[in-house]
């Protein structure tokens, strides 16, 4: 039986960089999630269609799945494929949507944000190409959420998420599916599993699943299929609070893994993934690979891997990501696109076959095999390269820098700032943009300064105010923008990049190599001066 529940619209349901993210407690308010789900179903026209549903297993995951199933059934959805135990990584959702030609999917995750009752939760809609809904759809969902006066539900028994199989809720079919098998099959099509299996017999590595969704994927793919020792797959059990840790694969939060990789005779390869399995961090022995460099290395070596043997059509990177990939694209004679932060901006380029590889400084890399970034894919790609080249990560990276030059890169995050203070800093800087070009700071001259506007070359849509760029004559850049994924106050991100073509000067610590840019940024933006913070909360 379908019941209508009355509710009032919530004014704060505009999706950010990647869906709607709020504190768990915010989502637990009566009607909050249900209203948003109703707004999704009102927008996506999916009556009688198949949807995919799953999350990263964080606190509130299963309850949210129950709520969404009831509303989906009441809104005439034909069939929902749900990951067993409520689990589906973000790239697996993308893979399953594409493979089963579903109308779309719903991912429940706040990605790299902490979980647990006091942590964060999130919900994101993906469209039929498997990728995050573009802005015109997220804006339509938001507009609808502002008009919602209630939602429809079907009462009745929900399936046991732990048991694979088929059931119905009202007239809607529900299938509880294995979260890993479709994704594992896709990985086997892209990478040389026989070669990897041989290579991994002698490779000392660690993979850190950070008690998040990648655990079951890594166990099956790295463990069962490729023979990696079970104890080398760390923190493989998904936990609702990620074991109290921050499931963000960067040197600051993957501390345990970093320690192992820094030991004498430690592993030669380390990797970690995030809450929902779309991010990746790659480490060599005592050498973190910056995500921007990772994209460039994968692009330069793509032909060594079966799935990309024919070469790549082009590369896309988010604007704040370093220009390391641009140098490779130039040499490969393929285009390199610069998009705003947010994976959703790559979708059109991928669908139009303009690009094969995409990447972001925020530990995201992927290709046209899905329409999301993909953590484990990046790990397998790197391992496949190591196997073919017979060199460790450190040598591959040093070779790359010698050949293409090194883009020293770092991001400084100032988290949970007072929103008014953060907005004032950004607005103040915007106001000064006109006068910055031509200014000299030490040995660096500002060539141009602007607020990045993206003109999508495929559908002509325009996205303005996507981050402020100070571009120097020698190719260095300072970029500053406010994060669209935080849930507390405002997070200001400062991105710093400087190019060093001289191999004799490529071994500096990035913070030292970027020292003068850090000072220029403070001089021009005045983050410390205006926020009172003496240092960033996180440096990656
Ligand atoms: C999301 C988006 C990414 C973006 C990242 C950081 O990643 O999918 O495209 O780069 O957030 O965004 P922001 O700088 O606005 O916080 P994830 O892994 O959180 O879904």
Phi then psi dihedrals of residue 360, to 5 deg: -135, 155
Average pLDDT over residues 391-398: 96
- To test the pocket of ligand 1, the residue of 121, 340, 360 to mutate (highest count of ligand atoms within 8 Å of its CB) is 360
Average pLDDT over residues 309-321: 98
**Residue pair 303/331 in contact by the 8 Å Cβ criterion:** no
Report the distance separating Cα 154 and Cα 74, nearest Å: 5
> Residue 244: what pLDDT?
92
**Per-residue pLDDT band at 536 (split at 50, 70, 90):** very high
> Residue 485: what pLDDT?
79
Ligand 1 centroid, distance to 411 Cα (angstroms): 13
The ligand 1 atom at the shortest distance from the C-alpha of residue 278 is 18
User: pLDDT tens-digit profile of 110-127?
Assistant: 999 999 999 999 999 999
Question: Which residue has a Cα nearest atom 4 of ligand 1?
Answer: 342
- Closest C-alpha to 286, from 31, 532, 509: 509
For 406-539, the fitting CATH number among 3.30.565.10, 3.40.190.120, 3.30.310.50, 1.20.120.1200 is: 3.30.310.50
Q: Is 410 a catalytic residue?
A: no
The ligand 1 atom at the shortest distance from the C-alpha of residue 110 is 19
| Ligand 1 interacting residues, C-beta cut-off 6 A | 17-18, 111-112, 274, 278-279, 318, 341-343, 360, 362, 364, 483-485, 493
Phi then psi dihedrals of residue 464, to 5 deg: -100, 170
> Residue 18: what pLDDT?
85
**Residue pair 411/495 in contact by the 8 Å Cβ criterion:** yes
Mean of the per-residue pLDDT values of the chain: 96
Ligand 1 centroid, distance to 160 Cα (angstroms): 32
User: pLDDT tens-digit profile of 198-256?
Assistant: 999 999 999 999 999 999 999 999 999 999 999 999 999 999 999 998 999 988 899 99
> Residue 443: what pLDDT?
87
How many residues make up the chain in this entry?
540
Q: Which one of 18, 94, 109, 111 is the catalytic residue?
A: 111
Asked whether this chain's domains 2-177 and 406-539 adopt the same fold, the reply is no
**Residue pair 289/283 in contact by the 8 Å Cβ criterion:** yes
Ligand 1 centroid, distance to 195 Cα (angstroms): 33
Strands (E), 28-164: 50-55, 79-87, 104-108, 120-126, 150-154
Q: Torsion angle of alpha carbons 48, 49, 55, 57, nearest 10°?
A: 50
Strands (E), 235-286: 269-273, 280-284
- To test the pocket of ligand 1, the residue of 14, 343, 479 to mutate (highest count of ligand atoms within 8 Å of its CB) is 343
Ligand 1 centroid, distance to 17 Cα (angstroms): 6
The ligand 1 atom at the shortest distance from the C-alpha of residue 16 is 15
β-strands 205-208, 233-234 pairing: parallel
Average pLDDT over residues 310-331: 98
User: pLDDT tens-digit profile of 263-282?
Assistant: 999 999 999 999 999 999 99
Using the predicted structure, report yes or no on whether residue 143 has a pLDDT greater than 80: yes
- Closest C-alpha to 130, from 148, 113, 105, 111: 105
Three-state SS for 424-491 is HHHHHHHHHHHHCCCCEECCEEEEEEEECCEECCCCCCEECCCCEEEEECCCCEEEEEECCCCCCCEE
CB-count burial class (<10 Å; 0-12, 13-18, 19+) for 349: buried
Residue 328 is encoded by which pair of tokens?
Answer: 């490779």
- To test the pocket of ligand 1, the residue of 14, 15, 16, 17 to mutate (highest count of ligand atoms within 8 Å of its CB) is 17
**352: which DSSP letter?**
T
Using the predicted structure, report yes or no on whether residue 488 has a pLDDT greater than 90: no
Using the predicted structure, report yes or no on whether residue 486 has a pLDDT greater than 80: no
**What fold does the segment set 183-404 form as a domain?**
Alpha-D-Glucose-1,6-Bisphosphate; Chain A, domain 3 (3.40.120)
**What fold does the segment set 2-177 form as a domain?**
Alpha-D-Glucose-1,6-Bisphosphate; Chain A, domain 3 (3.40.120)
β-strands 357-360, 315-318 pairing: parallel
The ligand 1 atom at the shortest distance from the C-alpha of residue 112 is 19
**Residue pair 88/97 in contact by the 8 Å Cβ criterion:** no
> Residue 484: what pLDDT?
82
Spans of all domains in the chain: 2-177, 183-404, 406-539
Ligand 1 centroid, distance to 442 Cα (angstroms): 34
């Amino acid at each position: 039986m379908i019941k209508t529940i009355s509710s009032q619209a919530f004014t704060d349901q505009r999706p950010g960089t990647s869906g709607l993210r709020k504190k768990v407690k915010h989502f637990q308010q009566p009607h909050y999630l249900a209203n948003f789900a109703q707004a999704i179903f009102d927008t996506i026209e999916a009556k009688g269609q198949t949807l995919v549903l799953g999350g990263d297993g964080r606190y509130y995951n299963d309850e949210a799945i129950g709520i969404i199933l009831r509303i989906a059934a009441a809104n005439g959805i034909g069939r929902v494929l749900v990951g067993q135990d409520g689990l589906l990584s973000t790239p697996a959702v993308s893979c399953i949507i594409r493979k089963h030609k579903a109308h779309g999917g719903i991912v429940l995750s706040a990605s790299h944000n902490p979980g647990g009752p006091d942590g964060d939760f999130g919900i994101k809609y993906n469209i039929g190409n498997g990728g995050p809904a573009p802005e015109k759809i997220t804006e339509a969902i938001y507009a609808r959420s502002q008009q919602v006066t209630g939602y429809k539900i079907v009462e009745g028994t929900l399936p046991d998420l732990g048991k694979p199989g088929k059931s119905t809720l009202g007239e809607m079919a529900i299938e509880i599916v294995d979260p890993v098998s479709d994704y594992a099959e896709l990985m086997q099509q892209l990478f040389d599993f026989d070669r990897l299996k041989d290579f991994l017999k002698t490779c000392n590595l660690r993979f850190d699943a950070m008690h998040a969704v990648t655990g079951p994927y890594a166990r099956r793919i790295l463990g069962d299929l490729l023979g990696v020792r079970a104890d080398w797959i760390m923190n493989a059990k998904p936990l609702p609070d990620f074991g109290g840790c921050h499931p963000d694969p960067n040197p600051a939060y993957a501390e345990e893994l970093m320690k192992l990789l820094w030991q004498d005779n430690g592993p030669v390869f380390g990797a970690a993934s995030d809450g929902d399995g779309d991010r990746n961090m790659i480490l060599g022995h005592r050498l973190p690979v910056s995500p921007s460099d990772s994209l460039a290395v994968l692009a330069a070596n793509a032909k060594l891997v079966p799935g990309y043997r024919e070469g790549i059509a082009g590369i896309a990177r988010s604007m704040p990501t370093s220009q390391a990939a641009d140098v490779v694209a130039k040499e490969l004679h393929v285009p390199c696109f610069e998009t705003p932060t947010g994976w959703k901006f790559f979708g059109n380029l991928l669908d139009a076959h303009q690009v094969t590889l995409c990447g972001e400084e925020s530990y995201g890399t992927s290709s046209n095999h899905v329409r999301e970034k993909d953590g484990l894919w990046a790990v397998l790609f790197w391992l496949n390269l190591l196997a073919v080249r017979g060199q460790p990560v450190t040598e591959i990276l040093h070779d790359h820098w010698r050949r293409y030059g090194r883009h020293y890169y770092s991001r400084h995050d100032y988290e949970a700032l007072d929103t008014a203070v953060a907005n004032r800093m950004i607005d103040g800087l915007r106001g000064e943009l006109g006068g910055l070009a031509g200014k000299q700071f030490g040995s660096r001259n500002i060539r141009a300064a602007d607020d990045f506007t993206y003109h999508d070359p495929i559908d002509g849509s325009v996205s303005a105010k996507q981050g402020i760029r100070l571009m120097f004559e020698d190719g260095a850049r300072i970029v500053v923008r406010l994060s669209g994924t935080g849930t507390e106050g405002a997070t200001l991100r400062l991105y710093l990049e400087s190019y060093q073509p001289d191999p004799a000067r490529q071994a500096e610590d990035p913070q030292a190599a970027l020292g003068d840019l850090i000072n220029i940024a403070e001089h021009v933006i005045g983050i410390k001066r205006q926020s009172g913070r003496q240092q960033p909360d996180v440096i990656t």
